[in-house]
A and B are shown apart, each in its own frame.
Chain A
Amino acid sequence: MEVVVKTDTKLVLLRLLLIFAGLGFIEASVRLNWIDRFFLASPLQAVEVLWAQLVSGNALYLILVTLYEIAAALLIATVVGLLVGFILWRYRLIGASYETLLAALFASPVILAYPIFLVIFGRTSAAVIILSSFFGAVPIILNTRSAFQQVNPILLQVGASMNLNRQRMFRHILLPAAAPAIFGGFRLGLTYILKSVLGLEYVVQVGGVGMWLSEAAFRFEVGEVYAGLVGTTLLSMLFLFMINRGEGWVRK
């Protein structure tokens, strides 16, 4: 156990070393004027600007807006995804018919259809939330259906032999057996929602962190552009870290 911990710590240190070496190289490139400051802000400058924005409350507010959009999209995607996924599993013909359609739709660049949502919802967070919830719902639907399909039939037979009614069978056997695979879909859904929310905020120039990045780019505020980039990257990474932790917890 101790050996594993030591190996993990060593790996984390090596990764950090690699990241800081890369950042150090960029810092040196800017300070030594190898790259014009008009194009590239030094990592320290970006962090300084980000910190100033956080302290002033501006960035904090924008992060909260982004988090609200992610949470709202996730809520819609989860409710719709679980419900539709269950229906697609329960009714085999419907499941076989729509699974292919959903997968094909998901593989196509649907995000380009965002102007339709702007017409319906206006240039507001609602447009970002609804379109992002679609990207989150599809993997949840597909994984939910697949999760129920993969439940070991022996478990169902055990439930039947114990005379469990439908509700109890669902609650005590189907749901716990399918939960880890459903969480896999939830994890994917959250990842897609995160990418979609931040991407759409930037493109449509509405909402939180993505909008900040877009506005800074229009003003040619190089420091702010890189601060926004650092903030968005850190937010994405933090989410992935939390999802990985959450998955580990569910699988336990």
Chain B
Amino acid sequence: MKPDLIHNTSTVFAARARTPGAVQLITLIVFVFVWQMIGAAGSIFAELFPPIMEILQSLWIYVSTPILIPHLSASLYEVLGGLLVGALFGIPLGVIFGSRLSFTQVTEPIILYLAVVPKIIVFPVFILFLGIGTHSKLAVGAIAAFFPIALLTIAGMREVKLVYLDVARTLGASKLKIATKVYLPAIAGYVFTGLRIGLGASVTGALLAETKIARAGLGFMIVEYYGQFRMADMYSLLLLIFILAALANWGMKALFSLVLPLPRSSQNVGEFV
């Protein structure tokens, strides 16, 4: 190989290594290497660092056998049910509270202050009312999803410009037409963002509640594995939950971008969720 060819190749390689993607890949490789080394050395927290292959094998068992299906279905029921109930309350209330400036000024700060309270602490109340089955976790998921959905719906309603309403009324639009042609397009992006954030909140709320008291579910399994000190199984389950949560988030984004060709940016509105 000629010296200038070697120089060019190394320059191209160096340039490629200076991209964010390459740095992320290098970080992942270093992370795996360090993990393996610590595990193999066995000097500090050896049990905490099971071999990566063991974690991947466990993950493969989860996805290729029906072992997790009862737990996955329990968690899906709680999370999706929670999102549905949260949306059923959050969207109409958000529309009502956001429909008039005076309503918004009175109610929005109350919702914002309540949104800061960790929703998991309401779990004992739901246990009292609904028992330790899936419904109490569904309720935690619902209350966790409610706040981002309601707050973002209020934010969407606030975006409806008075001039649009005046124009619609001047053109003789009926209440139904105003609702579907003016309000709906204005709030749809916000509501969808609220639903996406609400899904994340519902996942966290319901699964965290499962780790407290449950008979089934992915959160319940995490605590079971922790109790039995099956760290590889626990890590692979956590990894599976993170992957599923990321896929659900990505899927919702893709779905909404199909429904809404020009999604509105409303990332900063749900900062208290």
Contact = CB atoms under 8 A, between A and B. Distances in A.
B131 to A, nearest CB: 11
B24 A199 contact: no
Interface string B160-171: 000000000000
A115 B237 CA distance: 12
B122 interface: yes
Interface string A79-113: 00000000000000110111011001001110111
Contacts of B20: 93, 96-97, 100
A9 interface: no
Q: A11, A112, A115: which has the most chain B beta carbons within 10 Å?
A: A112
B204 to A, nearest CB: 4
Contacts of A113: 238
B27 A97 contact: yes
Contacts of B23: 93-94, 97-98
B182 interface: no
A112 B212 contact: no
A210 B234 CA distance: 25
A41 B66 CA distance: 43
Given A113-B238, A120-B48, A236-B117, A229 B122 contact: yes
A187 B23 CA distance: 30
A93 B18 contact: yes
Contacts of B207: 109, 112
A111 B127 CA distance: 21
Nearest to B229: A119
Contacts of B27: 97-98, 101
A233 interface: yes
A107 B226 contact: no
A198 B122 CA distance: 12
Given A11-B105, A109-B242, A217-B127, A118 B116 contact: no
Interface residue tally on A, bucketed by range: 35 or more
A38 B18 CA distance: 63
A108 B125 contact: no
B116 A199 contact: no
A240 B222 CA distance: 32
Given A93-B18, A115-B222, A236 B125 contact: no
Interface in A203-240: 203, 210, 213-214, 216-217, 222, 225-226, 228-229, 232-233, 236-237, 239-240
A101 B24 CA distance: 8
Interface string B200-244: 100110011001100000010011001000010010001001100
Nearest to A197: B118
Contacts of A64: none
Contacts of A119: 45, 47-48, 226, 231
B154 to A, nearest CB: 15
Contact of A108 (B110, B120, B128, B245): B245
Interface of B: 18-21, 23-24, 27, 45, 47-48, 105-107, 109-110, 112-114, 116-118, 120-125, 127-129, 200, 203-204, 207-208, 211-212, 219, 222-223, 226, 231, 234, 238, 241-242, 245-246, 249, 271-272
Interface of A: 11, 14-15, 18-19, 38-40, 93-94, 96-98, 100-101, 104, 107-109, 111-116, 118-120, 188, 191, 194-196, 198-199, 202-203, 210, 213-214, 216-217, 222, 225-226, 228-229, 232-233, 236-237, 239-241
**8 closest pairs, A vs B, by CB?**
A217-B124, A97-B23, A115-B226, A199-B118, A97-B20, A195-B118, A96-B20, A236-B117
